[in-house]
């Protein structure tokens, strides 16, 4: 059985559900601009992808976001809006909490550094579990699925690629991790994840199969 000493989680749609529609609805409210136009100007035009790859510092990011939004959004407004889109997934967070007593746990998400800097507000449940071990692609200057981002992240977390399991809901991102030498798992739901983690010897089956108890 492959030895795993670090479990690296994606964030969106693994540890929290990303509610893009709710975020766009709020941005439309504060800017007066239609949601579809906002999406096209920010996400469709590749602005967020640039930010994920670390090409924009916090000042340039907020300024560019506001210009595309047609409204000079403040940092507080951005944080409040970003938080609206993040709906915690308690069952997966419980699995992460259980794993912590056996292996290192960390997060790698394609996001700007502002997400990392304000994670305690945006996602306090996750911040309580991993704190500074929640990493964003922008801090490494490259985004998933580029294999280099996984290597840089694993090094920052104090792990080794061959002893790291990466969990993501995107096949392309999992494939990128595997290309970097990590073990990869394509996430679908908490129940299937528990089975996979048992196969890696990281958790044991509980009587009800609902409690992700840590293996002894």
Domain extent for 183: 6-17+88-199
pLDDT of amino acid 207: 37
Percentage of residues in the chain having pLDDT higher than 70: 94
Residues 114-172 pLDDT 10s = 999 999 999 999 999 999 999 999 999 999 999 999 999 999 999 999 999 999 999 99
**pLDDT band at residue 206 using 50, 70 and 90 as cut-offs:** low
| Residue at a domain's end among 58, 84, 110 | 84
214 found inside a domain:
no
CA 69 to chain centre: 24
How does DSSP classify residue 203?
B
205 found inside a domain:
no
> Are residues 194 and 97 part of one domain?
yes
Q: Say if residue 205's pLDDT is above 70.
A: no
> Are residues 180 and 99 part of one domain?
yes
Mean pLDDT in residue range 186-208: 87
> Are residues 144 and 65 part of one domain?
no
Mean pLDDT in residue range 59-86: 98
CA 132 to chain centre: 13
pLDDT of amino acid 203: 87
Mean pLDDT in residue range 39-65: 97
pLDDT, averaged across the chain = 94
Distance (Å, rounded) from C-alpha 153 to C-alpha 142?
Answer: 10
Distance (Å, rounded) from C-alpha 50 to C-alpha 52?
Answer: 5
pLDDT of amino acid 213: 43
212 found inside a domain:
no
* Domains: count for the chain: 2
pLDDT of amino acid 132: 94
Distance (Å, rounded) from C-alpha 160 to C-alpha 47?
Answer: 32
């Amino acid at each position: 059985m492959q030895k795993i000493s670090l479990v690296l989680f994606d964030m969106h749609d693994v540890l929290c559900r990303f509610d893009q529609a709710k975020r766009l609805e709020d941005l439309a409210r504060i800017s007066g601009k239609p949601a579809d136009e906002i999406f096209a100007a920010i996400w469709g035009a590749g602005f967020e992808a640039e930010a994920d790859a670390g090409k924009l510092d916090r000042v340039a990011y907020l300024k560019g976001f506001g210009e595309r939004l047609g409204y000079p959004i403040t940092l507080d407004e951005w944080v409040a809006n970003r938080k609206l889109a993040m709906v915690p997934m308690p069952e997966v967070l419980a699995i992460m909490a259980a794993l912590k007593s056996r292996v290192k746990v960390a997060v790698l998400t394609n996001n700007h550094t502002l997400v990392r800097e304000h994670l305690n507000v945006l996602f306090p449940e996750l911040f309580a579990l991993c704190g500074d071990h929640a990493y964003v692609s922008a801090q490494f200057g490259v985004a998933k699925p580029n294999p280099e981002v996984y290597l840089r992240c694993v090094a920052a977390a104090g792990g080794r690629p061959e002893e790291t399991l990466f969990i993501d809901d995107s096949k392309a991102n999992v494939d990128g991790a595997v290309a970097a030498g990590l073990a990869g798992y394509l996430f679908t739901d908490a129940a299937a994840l528990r089975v996979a983690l048992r196969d890696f010897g990281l958790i044991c089956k509980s009587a009800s199969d609902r409690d992700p108890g840590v293996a002894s």
